[in-house]
Structure 1
């Protein structure tokens, strides 16, 4: 082997660099453990001092405090350099949420809102119709903006321009758009503006998250889709996080009407509704008004008498009139009905002329408990904000330059704010007017009124203001952080979210570690049993390969996920593939009478094993690259480790054993690549594979037909990745009946709920599509609350917070949850189709270029299509009966693509041997050459498949419930892929060639052998 010294140098250098990179991971891990110990100790100290439970900090915040204190402190030294904790954490291998626990959300910035803002809230009917139609025509992987442009072109029919004065050629965009511009010119400007809005949203979110305080948060834009990924490892409070990341933080200050200003209006509305509503649920309404009046008696001295006639007043039976700026108090469950009343045109017509521009707004819910009955009542207050023709508040949050959490004069948590000079002047005028008119100023955040104080001591100068209300301390901290970061340019809707508890993450680590160790030991044992001392050399290469693989992951700052661990375990199976190809070829040459040195030279030569190794790995790299491009999140983690593993495996399996075997040659030692047990294994095959094609075609055709029938009858168990929805992994205190739970959930989720055993019989996977198309954090909270209300009876006194949070050491409740909105599920499905088709086309194209005959590509594609249909058919037939989940999701697509890579691996090895025999001295017809090629490579095919099957079985047994369906798909795929490379690819290659082509090949071959 040439340049042996250079290769040794690079191998040693690479090993040193890998060890150096991995050192930071070990140091960071130890420091995190110290942080956990510190947090527990501090919390116990505070408890021992008698600090109230609601005043105690959570463990996560204490851990963050400890780690923040070390960010600029030297925590590690290598002699030539010192490193702070910030340096160390930046260089470690980060664990994904499925291993660390935490919250992951993908936010979709509302491009619709951005377009409305850019068009200055245009009333142009063409513009608004186009906006209305955009969602329905938007295709998978198409941006909202592109769909809007298509929609506008279709609605306008060329009669209305984007540069119309009442659309985008308005005063706000006057510097960039004028009415003379073409639609294409305007589109370029609008694209730039939308991208600027997404960038602005990204910066706002980054500031909010930096101030929130979690270790190593990750926030990144996802291409040009307008989506932003936010990962918060270790975060526990789901509702709190969703408020922080999705709230627009649109702060507004409004003048308000008084309750007496609307008393006559509400009376008129009530009389109108009496005539239009025929029946009233008297008992239920009596209960509602009683509970609200009880709240008012405790809460407000300004409350006026409510209607005493109950059960006959459609409006007054649902609301109690308030006092001061509070127009009414309403039970939360009745707000939807009240809203529907207030939106009616006949109701709006009853408004006095000077109040036609009123903007109704609700307060934050107020929860109270009756001490006698212990009944919980949740109410909200209705306010009437003094609107104007532009619908713009007199003062907005853009003037806020600072915000701090504090306490009001009553000692309750509040948020104090400081305005800039311009805002201070407006605030002074606004408060001066309120003082003179004895009015009130409502402070609203995201259209929710938090407080509406009166002004009792004259105009407020200096720009100081305060938001107070029924806040928790944590809420005021979050609100202050959000206000300091600024408001989002548009709504940010959560289109996908994943919540993983730390205990589940630890289970995943344990399962991944166990499967990795057992898989490694089995592969090493098999190589020693089969190849003897040469097998030990392959094992050395395997260990070095793992060192290099983890070293590269650390240097790239990659995130290790559970599928990523699966990719590493699979690397163990494929890492020895190149060794097997070389060893099998060397054995052939030794049997032919060659010396060990000659056998190795031929085995490592281009016409020996090297061309086959390169072809097989190129096809594998192509499928891995497609998986990386089209996959998201954990799937990209799987693709990353798989791709890195391919490159490190090639280097280590080719060069490390060769260096060791060259040393044996130099010392006169003999290598036979066998052991006394394996000497005659998988040798002497002379099976007529081509002759059996009639039967294999019949078998495969039957399987394909049965699979296609099953697709139309059974279908496939499509996961929420493909259809949208919410899924929860819930751990119970004792076994439950999934059929019973499904019925109970279906009753509250409009029939859209399903519960299945997940692993053990005390754990369920619950899926629902309930309100998945509805947007807003309120909907997410509603679904979580409904789930809790149904399932809480199965637990011993569990609170909503305990049920939904991802607290450290949590054993029961929601261990993991996931939400996929319909827009992102459409993109995932589209990506899945293109990734599978793209893998087939790209690999097929590579084979055409490599073998210079399209028939080789056709044979390989036929085998791949056969394998994909076989795996899909197996899942369609078995998903109702297997004791584990067999869903079609992103993990399943990853398995399919991996199967394509391995199937192609086997096929390419056979095709390369056919090409070698045609170029060499092998005599016989083309059919005989094809048969001989399959038989002479059969030992490699069986060996590689066996190592893969062993590794996959270990993952199936020890890898945990999450990976079981994914691994099962690969197990079927490897078995079927081995079969198709032998019985489908080569027969199709032969059958697709015309007789004159075969005659020409045989003639050239015969002439070459003369």
Structure 2
């Protein structure tokens, strides 16, 4: 090998840089361990709520060291903050945290651009686009254009004065423009709004205080991915992300102003509800009669009193006080019913002229109360506030006169003038001004000292310090141009994250140990050098991940562990070729030189095909799949460098220094047969029959039983819940189905852990449904927990215990359709890419056909095994994004095997000419050692992950194990025989292979 000095220099430099990058991770881990120990010693287990208290102590300890020097390299040093910025980032599945996909509402953006147009065609087009988007892959704006065109029939234009030819868009759209001219303007404006939303969210998240937050736009769909590793307060995060920061200032009515309306509304409701109650069926009357006959007169009398209700007033905890802007206080659980009553058309008709445009608004939910205040806001014909929040130029967390956390705001000149007029009017009339954020009244102060000049104002309320900081952050960052709904989310508790790290690293160490021992056992001293190269390979992978700022996830660890199994493949190919050269009578140096040279083509072809599959994963996958693909691509590149250069450098160095003869065998492997002569092609008909039966069974099962779709593909919510003692999943499933509808409950890992999947209100957006489901889960499952087990102990993010909800995942139906589509394209795309690569490399479509037929065979059988065994296995067999990643990895691995064999066929033909069956059998026999060795090594790695890698990876690993087994068989007995049988003109194949 030429340029040995240069290779040695690069190897040393790469290793040093990788170790340097990883050193920050070790230092950060050491400081965090010290903080954990400090908190453990500070807070006793006997203290109440000791887990939360320890977290606070640990956080304060780390905060105090942020600007302290914690890492001294002699020539430079680093603070903890700098160390944390350079450490290898861990994803939320390893650290706990929150991952959400937000959908910025294009509908809201269009309504804003149309200045809230009341045009019936415009609004109906929006409604129909809403419906169409549930079953379509088209962008919302395309659907809106289609629906508008159908409804307008050419009579109404987008550029109508009542729609988009308005003051908002006066510089971009005029009423003379056609719809075709307006559409690109609207697309640009929508994209600008989504970009604005992205920037607003980024600014909010930057101030949130988590390590290594990740926020990125997903294409042009209006979707934004947000990952916050380490975040624990789920409600706080959701509020921060979904708050539109729509700040408004409204004048308010007094309680006495609306008192007469409330009385009239209550009396009218009595009449309405009595009418409804009297429209009962005969069966209802008979049932009531039977019940009445069982009641004593006294009981009936009390029942009659109870039915004499005042519908509106009975929902009130108390009415409003004279002179107060609070017109009523209502229990939180009754606010929905109260809203329903006062929104009824029959009730709104009772509003007197001075209250015609009244808007009702609820106050902020207090911490220790279940009651909300109701306010009456002075609206107008357009339902516009007196002043909006776009005049705010700055906001800061402060404290009010009572020393409670508050938020102070500074307005621009225009806002300051309006604010002075508004406060002056309130002072003169003794009125109040409600400060409303996202339809919630935070406060409604009066003005006691005259008009307020200078544009200063304050929002006070029952805030915690975090809430006040978040509110100031949101106002400072600005409002979202449209609402942002969470359409996909994954929340992982910190305890589950730590378990994932422990199981992932243990499986990593077990796999590495088995591979290292196997290589020495099989190849002796040469295997030891391969192990050194493998260890360097691992260091380089982690170093590159740390240096490039990638986030390590559990699938990422799986990708690295798989790389361990696959990276030995290059060394196996090389060592087997060197053994062939030695058996041909060549000397040690020449055998090593020729072995590396002859193996290079096969190694490159095999790794390119696997790399192409990984690139397809990277393009079509998301989140964890991209993490898996990233580590796989990096692993392929580093393993090529270490196997081709480092192993050879050590072999030749040892040979030159010690004049040692390498046999590339041990006393165990030396006894294995050297020259096999198996008639593979002669057995191909039997292989065709076996494969045909397996494929047929798989297809029948797939068409009759189908596959167990994960929520990635069907939408819904899933919760991983752990109990103290083993539970009966069937019983829990029946109990939850009674309140959530069809609910699936399965044991997930140990008998005290279940996975709950439901589609309850999957179409409804908003965090209210998440809270509702968690409440229902707690109410129905609390009996399985110890006494005094609270809702906070149960919910994810509010606790750090080992029981309760450990993980929650939500996937909306729209994004589920998109994920399914992307998965299909990923599989089809990988097959097309591989077909074209094989065609380009071997210049014969028969080779491509054999390869793709083999891969299709492997995919169908893996799917069939999952279909047949989904209800038999004691672990999750759901088909989700991770399963698709497994399928594509199997595709890459299987084609790796096939390419090695095809390369040998081409090489043998170039040397000896085409000899039909003899050439093919010879190629298969000469590569069988490499095929079995690599397959067994990879299977050992996969089995170690399957056993030790944690419950969430078992289905993924099972698919890989089945796929690698089937793929090894198909490479030998399907791909090559099909290539042979479809090549009619052997002379033509000979010419192609000689080219």
TM-score, with length taken from structure 2? 0.91
The residue that corresponds to 1:261 in the other structure is: 257
The match for 1:385 among 377, 392, 402 is 377
Whole-Å separation in 1 of the counterparts to 2:589 and 2:41: 65
- Give the secondary structure class of the aligned counterpart of 2:706: coil
Q: Does 1:12 align with 2:17?
A: no
Whole-Å separation in 2 of the counterparts to 1:989 and 1:343: 73
After TM superposition, give the deviation of residue 645 of structure 1 in Å.
Answer: 0.3
- The answer to which of 596-605 and 537-546 deviates more is 596-605
- Give the secondary structure class of the aligned counterpart of 1:104: strand
- How has the CA–CA distance of structure 1 residues 778 and 589 changed in structure 2, closer, same or farther, with 3 Å as cutoff? same
Q: Does 1:668 align with 2:656?
A: no
After TM superposition, give the deviation of residue 615 of structure 1 in Å.
Answer: 0.9
Alignment of 1:827-866 (within 5 A): 827-866=818-857
Q: Deviations over 1:348-374 (max 9, x none)?
A: 3332334332222222345777xxxxx
Whole-Å separation in 1 of the counterparts to 2:166 and 2:483: 23
Q: Does 1:77 align with 2:72?
A: yes
Q: Does 1:942 align with 2:932?
A: yes
- How has the CA–CA distance of structure 1 residues 649 and 888 changed in structure 2, closer, same or farther, with 3 Å as cutoff? same
Q: Does 1:902 align with 2:893?
A: yes
After TM superposition, give the deviation of residue 14 of structure 1 in Å.
Answer: 1.3
- The answer to which of 583-592 and 907-916 deviates more is 583-592
Retained in 1: the 8 A contact 2:778–2:794? Answer: yes
After TM superposition, give the deviation of residue 410 of structure 1 in Å.
Answer: 5.2
The residue that corresponds to 1:3 in the other structure is: 3
The match for 2:96 among 101, 120, 124 is 101
Q: Deviations over 1:783-829 (max 9, x none)?
A: 22222222222222122222114367521111111112222222211
- Give 4+ residue runs of structure 1 displaced > 6 Å after superposition: 41-45
Retained in 2: the 8 A contact 1:363–1:383? Answer: yes
The residue that corresponds to 1:761 in the other structure is: 751
After TM superposition, give the deviation of residue 19 of structure 1 in Å.
Answer: 1.6
Whole-Å separation in 2 of the counterparts to 1:803 and 1:682: 61
- How has the CA–CA distance of structure 1 residues 500 and 905 changed in structure 2, closer, same or farther, with 3 Å as cutoff? same
The match for 2:415 among 411, 423, 430 is 423
Q: Does 1:602 align with 2:598?
A: no
Retained in 1: the 8 A contact 2:366–2:462? Answer: yes
After TM superposition, give the deviation of residue 745 of structure 1 in Å.
Answer: 1.4
Whole-Å separation in 2 of the counterparts to 1:309 and 1:389: 41
Retained in 2: the 8 A contact 1:140–1:827? Answer: no
- Give the secondary structure class of the aligned counterpart of 1:761: coil
- How has the CA–CA distance of structure 1 residues 396 and 66 changed in structure 2, closer, same or farther, with 3 Å as cutoff? farther
The residue that corresponds to 1:28 in the other structure is: 28
Whole-Å separation in 2 of the counterparts to 1:673 and 1:159: 83
- Give the secondary structure class of the aligned counterpart of 2:203: helix
Alignment of 1:184-263 (within 5 A): 184-263=180-259
Retained in 1: the 8 A contact 2:52–2:800? Answer: no
- The answer to which of 172-181 and 116-125 deviates more is 172-181
- The answer to which of 576-585 and 782-791 deviates more is 782-791
After TM superposition, give the deviation of residue 145 of structure 1 in Å.
Answer: 3.0
The match for 2:807 among 813, 816, 832 is 816
- The answer to which of 65-74 and 840-849 deviates more is 65-74
After TM superposition, give the deviation of residue 877 of structure 1 in Å.
Answer: 0.9
The match for 2:536 among 544, 552, 556 is 544
After TM superposition, give the deviation of residue 270 of structure 1 in Å.
Answer: 3.8
- Give the secondary structure class of the aligned counterpart of 1:328: strand
- The answer to which of 89-98 and 877-886 deviates more is 89-98
Q: Deviations over 1:151-187 (max 9, x none)?
A: 4344444444332222222111111222233434433
- How has the CA–CA distance of structure 1 residues 702 and 276 changed in structure 2, closer, same or farther, with 3 Å as cutoff? farther
Q: Deviations over 1:925-975 (max 9, x none)?
A: x23322222122111111110000000111111101111111010000000
The residue that corresponds to 2:108 in the other structure is: 113
Retained in 2: the 8 A contact 1:64–1:215? Answer: no
Retained in 2: the 8 A contact 1:280–1:314? Answer: no
After TM superposition, give the deviation of residue 149 of structure 1 in Å.
Answer: 3.4
After TM superposition, give the deviation of residue 141 of structure 1 in Å.
Answer: 5.8
Whole-Å separation in 2 of the counterparts to 1:143 and 1:86: 42
The residue that corresponds to 1:869 in the other structure is: 860
- Give the secondary structure class of the aligned counterpart of 2:720: strand
Alignment of 1:130-145 (within 5 A): 130-138=125-133, 142-145=138-141
Retained in 1: the 8 A contact 2:367–2:462? Answer: no
- The answer to which of 125-134 and 947-956 deviates more is 125-134
Whole-Å separation in 2 of the counterparts to 1:551 and 1:413: 44
- The answer to which of 800-809 and 770-779 deviates more is 800-809
Whole-Å separation in 2 of the counterparts to 1:473 and 1:646: 49
After TM superposition, give the deviation of residue 561 of structure 1 in Å.
Answer: 0.7
- How has the CA–CA distance of structure 1 residues 279 and 380 changed in structure 2, closer, same or farther, with 3 Å as cutoff? farther
Q: Does 1:564 align with 2:556?
A: yes
Retained in 2: the 8 A contact 1:322–1:329? Answer: yes
The residue that corresponds to 1:396 in the other structure is: 388
- The answer to which of 439-448 and 398-407 deviates more is 398-407
Q: Deviations over 1:91-135 (max 9, x none)?
A: 221111111112222222222111111111112233222221223
TM-score, with length taken from structure 1? 0.90
After TM superposition, give the deviation of residue 587 of structure 1 in Å.
Answer: 1.6
The match for 1:163 among 159, 169, 173 is 159
Q: Does 1:125 align with 2:117?
A: no
The residue that corresponds to 1:965 in the other structure is: 955
- How has the CA–CA distance of structure 1 residues 19 and 472 changed in structure 2, closer, same or farther, with 3 Å as cutoff? closer
After TM superposition, give the deviation of residue 511 of structure 1 in Å.
Answer: 0.9
After TM superposition, give the deviation of residue 263 of structure 1 in Å.
Answer: 3.5
After TM superposition, give the deviation of residue 664 of structure 1 in Å.
Answer: 4.0
Identify unmatched segments of 5+ residues in structure 1. 282-306, 370-377
The match for 1:706 among 697, 701, 708 is 697
Instruction: State the superposition RMSD in angstroms.
Output: 2.8
Retained in 2: the 8 A contact 1:238–1:804? Answer: no
After TM superposition, give the deviation of residue 142 of structure 1 in Å.
Answer: 4.2
- How has the CA–CA distance of structure 1 residues 174 and 380 changed in structure 2, closer, same or farther, with 3 Å as cutoff? same
The residue that corresponds to 2:986 in the other structure is: 998
- How has the CA–CA distance of structure 1 residues 930 and 182 changed in structure 2, closer, same or farther, with 3 Å as cutoff? farther
- The answer to which of 481-490 and 980-989 deviates more is 481-490
Whole-Å separation in 2 of the counterparts to 1:535 and 1:43: 51
- The answer to which of 85-94 and 937-946 deviates more is 85-94
After TM superposition, give the deviation of residue 726 of structure 1 in Å.
Answer: 1.4
After TM superposition, give the deviation of residue 314 of structure 1 in Å.
Answer: 4.0
The residue that corresponds to 1:290 in the other structure is: none
Retained in 1: the 8 A contact 2:721–2:756? Answer: yes
- Give the secondary structure class of the aligned counterpart of 1:225: coil
Q: Deviations over 1:654-682 (max 9, x none)?
A: 11121122234434321121112112436
The match for 2:498 among 478, 482, 506 is 506
Retained in 2: the 8 A contact 1:60–1:234? Answer: no
The residue that corresponds to 1:334 in the other structure is: 334
The residue that corresponds to 1:295 in the other structure is: none
- How has the CA–CA distance of structure 1 residues 789 and 590 changed in structure 2, closer, same or farther, with 3 Å as cutoff? same
- The answer to which of 869-878 and 190-199 deviates more is 190-199
